[in-house]
Amino acid sequence: MVRPGGRSARVQHAVHTAVRELEAEVGRDALTVPLVAARAGVTPSTIYRRWRDLQQLLSDVAVERLRPDAAPEDRGDLASDLEAWAEQFLDEMASPPGRAYIRDALLGDPDGSNAGQCSAYAAEQVGVVLARAAERGEKAPDVESVIDHVIAPMMYRILFRPGRLDASYARRLVADLLA
Amino acid sequence: MVRPGGRSARVQHAVHTAVRELEAEVGRDALTVPLVAARAGVTPSTIYRRWRDLQQLLSDVAVERLRPDAAPEDRGDLASDLEAWAEQFLDEMASPPGRAYIRDALLGDPDGSNAGQCSAYAAEQVGVVLARAAERGEKAPDVESVIDHVIAPMMYRILFRPGRLDASYARRLVADLLA
DNA sequence: ACTCTAAAGCAAAGACGTAGCTTCTAAGTG
DNA sequence: CACTTAGAAGCTACGTCTTTGCTTTAGAGT
């Protein structure tokens, strides 16, 4: 049972913060559970008990970092909004740190719930764009179509075919979808 | 330098075999490098040197298992061929072992070459189907289109949205592409 | 205030990962 | 057919990480 205002929450926050700090300081590959524990001021066994291993901890932190921090920009029409969002999404996700976070999120995650959360974030952002279009009276596809025709192809390339990506790919996918 | 007929090749084979056997016997989570080494009759340091860690070893083995073992079935026309291939692909990849292999292949792979290999396997199979269609004189899409419109959406769901999949999804994607 | 329980601390034992050095083996050469 | 050589495997010792049982703490509910 998680007690929101209590010690558990403090520990979780301290550990997450320690991971982010150390990731920046010593690099991902040098991270170890004892190192994180020392920085967070907890004992290693606490981390092992709560997260089971370093992978799952990194996965948790990665999901946090993949959460969008702002609503998609409003450029006045669906095509522009979607194009801008897709370009930014691709740009962030295809970057080396972006790819690392995606891999971490997928990795320590037997049941896929962390990865599912990432997908939900993207779907939510797209949902906002589509809802705005609907309010304007524009004809808009549904979220599922955007996932299948825009997000999925971008993700596939990011994960399976690195080095075959640029912003024009995002624009082409959006254009094809809206055609 | 790898010497195909020599000791290196024997060791690599013994280690891969040991991984597959132990995976079946004790389960993935109980695999460790020393355990694999003992079964393969080599010392742990050999594995650490060649593969660096367990993840990369599992990644190598996973790629091997994801290699298709036969050419796609010929059902006489493009739509049927592609539909059959997509259904089988989805079925294999969405299964628990299939997902585990995909994750392993993605995982121990900083530069994405193992994952790229998996993608290449799928592209090759699709290429065979499309080439047959071209020989028959059918109008066929190119491989890139199939990747974007069929493979990528299936993979995205497998990785990010488990539990939202069935064979009809594969059929729908193929039908939409060929429409 | 008191009780109760989930979570954290502690400590010791065992397993794992790393690195230096030695030994082997197969490919190339005269 | 020896001989050389370099890459790869074996061995070993050390340090670090992981696991586990038990104890202690702190916050939620009464």
Q: Residue B151's domain is classified under what CATH number?
A: 1.10.357.10
Give the 3-state secondary structure of residue B141.
coil
CB contact under 8 A, A147 and B153: yes
Confidence of residue A73 (pLDDT cuts 50, 70, 90): very high
Confidence of residue B5 (pLDDT cuts 50, 70, 90): low
Nearest to A119 among B106, B107, B160 (CB): B160
Q: Are residues A42 and A76 in the same domain?
A: no
Is residue A11 in some structural domain? yes
Nucleotide nearest to B43 (CA to C1'): D10
Domains held by chain B: number: 2
Tell me the average pLDDT of chain B: 94
Is residue A62 in some structural domain? no
Question: Distance from B93 to chain A by nearest Cα, in Å?
Answer: 14
Is A76's pLDDT higher than 80?
Answer: yes
Give the 3-state secondary structure of residue A111.
coil
Is residue B62 in some structural domain? no
Q: What are phi and psi of A75, to 5 degrees?
A: -105, 0
Is residue B61 in some structural domain? no
Percent of chain B with pLDDT over 70: 97
* Chain A residues lying within 8 Å of B147, measured CB to CB: 153, 156
Give the orientation angle of helix A44-51 with respect to helix A54-66, to 10 degrees. Answer: 70
Shortest CA distance from B121: residue in chain A: A160
Question: Distance from B142 to chain A by nearest Cα, in Å?
Answer: 15
CB neighbours (10 Å) of residue A88? 16
Closest CA relative to residue A64, chosen from A15, A11, A129: A15
Shortest CA distance from B122: residue in chain A: A160
Distance CA A130, CA A177 (A): 13
Is B6's pLDDT higher than 80?
Answer: no
> Which pLDDT score, from 0 to 100, does residue A7 have?
82
Q: Are residues B38 and B117 in the same domain?
A: no
Tell me the average pLDDT of chain A: 94
Beta strands in B90-163 (DSSP E): none
Q: Which residue has the higher pLDDT, A109 or B94?
A: B94
Give the 3-state secondary structure of residue B163.
coil
User: What are the pLDDT digits (tens) for B47-60?
Assistant: 999 999 999 999 99
Q: Are residues A169 and A120 in the same domain?
A: yes
Q: Judge contact between B129 and B74, C-beta under 8 A.
A: no
Expressed in percent and rounded to 5, the helix, strand and coil fractions of chain B are 75, 0, 25
User: Which candidate in B160, B164, B174 is best for mutational testing of the A interface (most A CBs within 10 A)?
Assistant: B160
> Distance in angstroms, CA of B109 to C1' of C13?
34
Is A28's pLDDT higher than 70?
Answer: yes
Q: Which of A116-120, B110-114, B137-141 has the lowest mean pLDDT?
A: B110-114
Q: Are residues B102 and B165 in the same domain?
A: yes
Cα dihedral B128, B134, B139, B144, rounded to 10, equals 40
Span A72-95, average pLDDT: 97
Span B6-16, average pLDDT: 91
Map tokens 């095509």 to a residue: A79
| Beta carbons within 8 Å of A150's beta carbon, 6+ residues apart | A82, A86, A170, A173, A174, A177
Is the interface score ipTM higher than 0.85?
Answer: yes
Q: Are residues B41 and B86 in the same domain?
A: no
Span B142-162, average pLDDT: 96
Distance CA B133, CA B60 (A): 33
Is residue A79 in some structural domain? yes
Is residue B29 in some structural domain? yes
Is residue A59 in some structural domain? no
CATH number, domain with residue B31: 1.10.10.60
CB contact under 8 A, A107 and B112: no
Distance CA A166, CA B2 (A): 36
Q: Are residues B100 and B45 in the same domain?
A: no
Closest CA relative to residue A87, chosen from A166, A9, A144, A29: A166
Q: Are residues B156 and B124 in the same domain?
A: yes
> Which pLDDT score, from 0 to 100, does residue B3 have?
46
> Which pLDDT score, from 0 to 100, does residue A163 have?
80
Closest CA relative to residue A99, chosen from A53, A154, A26: A154
Q: Which residue has the higher pLDDT, A129 or A163?
A: A129
Is A4's pLDDT higher than 60?
Answer: no
Is residue A147 in some structural domain? yes
Q: Are residues A39 and A78 in the same domain?
A: no
- Give the range of the structural domain holding residue B14, as residue numbers without chain letter: 7-51
Residue A156 amino acid letter: Y
User: What are the pLDDT digits (tens) for B70-119?
Assistant: 999 999 999 999 999 999 999 999 999 999 999 999 988 777 789 999 99
A4 contact to strand D (CB, 7 A limit) = yes
Q: Are residues A138 and A101 in the same domain?
A: yes
Span A99-112, average pLDDT: 88
Q: Are residues B45 and B75 in the same domain?
A: no
> Which pLDDT score, from 0 to 100, does residue A5 have?
63
* Chain B residues lying within 8 Å of A116, measured CB to CB: 160-162
Q: Are residues B36 and B89 in the same domain?
A: no
A7 contact to strand D (CB, 7 A limit) = yes
* Chain A residues lying within 8 Å of B160, measured CB to CB: 112, 115-116, 118-119, 155
Q: Are residues A96 and A40 in the same domain?
A: no
Question: Distance from B7 to chain A by nearest Cα, in Å?
Answer: 31
Span B7-30, average pLDDT: 94
